[in-house]
Amino acid sequence: MTRYEAVILDVDGTLVRGDRLLPGAATGIRAIDDAGCDRLLFSNNPTRGAAHYEERLSAHDLAVDPRRVLTSGTVAAEFLADTHPEASVFVVGESRLEALLEAASLAVTDDPREAAVVLGSIDRDLTYDDLGRALTALECADAFYGTDPDVTIPTDGGMVPGSGTIIAAMEAVAEREVDGILGKPSKTAADAAFERLGLEGGPERTLVVGDRLNTDIELGARAGTDTALVTTGVASRADVAAADLEPTYVLDSLAELEDVLG
């Protein structure tokens, strides 16, 4: 019988890469279910909600409960709705992130001078003028948050710039640091995950699994859980050897969860 009550599982680089299911992913999911563990998917993708992952993984015959899916976008929306419910939010990001905020009854503004809160995120159409508008918004806003710190993200064609790149540019142009990152590995993200799971056993009976040291493994380390790094995405065994942060387990495939949970 496994000692774990729940598994918090990354998606991109852990279960899938682009539209491709990674080798061993289905076996790993089956091992989690066979061990009787709750599973929560947690992606740092700020442009998607739970329904996207339910549909995306069902295409690979993997059943996903949308109530057990979090993204940095949904966590950001919930956090801002709780902490700044009446604020005008200026978004440096994509339309799907704006839709997540609006679904949480937040007021999204296109006018940087109306900004009370600025939220930085990935924007694959970012222009010089957009960065200038962000500077104006940051001069006006009381609060500045980022969805996630991922400087790069894995795709079928290789690594591409992520939210962390955009947020760093915003910090540089405004000479102002974010007040907080809301996705992994933040306390905000960990609190959202544990609240969604409703665990009785707490962090010591939770396993966090992912492919990034600075988000997935750092999330678990900060929260006090065991962690498992899979080398199917961003980080390699060489990266682990060179890092100060040591995962509880290092796996070459998600299929090796059979041994961890067995």
**Cα gap 75→121, rounded to integer Å:** 13
C-alpha 39: how far from chain center: 15
Alpha helix (H) ranges present in 90-223?
95-103, 128-140, 163-174, 187-197, 218-223
- Residues 248 and 213 grouped into a single domain: yes
**Cα gap 204→222, rounded to integer Å:** 12
- Residues 256 and 159 grouped into a single domain: no
Q: Quick one: pLDDT at residue 99?
A: 98
Domain boundary (165, 181, 197) is at 181
Q: How many domains does the chain have?
A: 2
Chain segment 160-183, per-residue pLDDT in tens: 899 999 999 999 999 999 999 999
- Residues 227 and 166 grouped into a single domain: no
Q: Quick one: pLDDT at residue 246?
A: 96
Is 57 a domain residue?
A: no
Q: pTM of the predicted model, to two decimals?
A: 0.94
Chain segment 87-118, per-residue pLDDT in tens: 999 999 999 999 999 999 999 999 999 999 99
Q: Quick one: pLDDT at residue 153?
A: 83
Domain boundary (181, 207, 233) is at 181
Domain boundary (161, 181, 201) is at 181
Is 69 a domain residue?
A: no
Q: Quick one: pLDDT at residue 81?
A: 98
- Residues 156 and 197 grouped into a single domain: no
- What are the per-10-residue average pLDDT scores of the chain (262 residues)? 93 92 97 96 97 95 96 98 98 98 98 98 97 98 97 82 97 98 98 91 92 97 98 95 97 97 88
- Residues 82 and 26 grouped into a single domain: no
Is 52 a domain residue?
A: no
| CATH classification of the domain holding 100 | 3.40.50.1000
Q: DSSP assignment, residue 12?
A: B
**Cα gap 45→146, rounded to integer Å:** 12
Is 223 a domain residue?
A: yes
Is 245 a domain residue?
A: yes
Q: Are 86 and 110 in contact (CB under 8 A)?
A: no
- Residues 164 and 189 grouped into a single domain: no
Is 53 a domain residue?
A: no
- Residues 174 and 215 grouped into a single domain: no
Domain that includes residue 86, residue range:
74-181
- Residues 176 and 248 grouped into a single domain: no
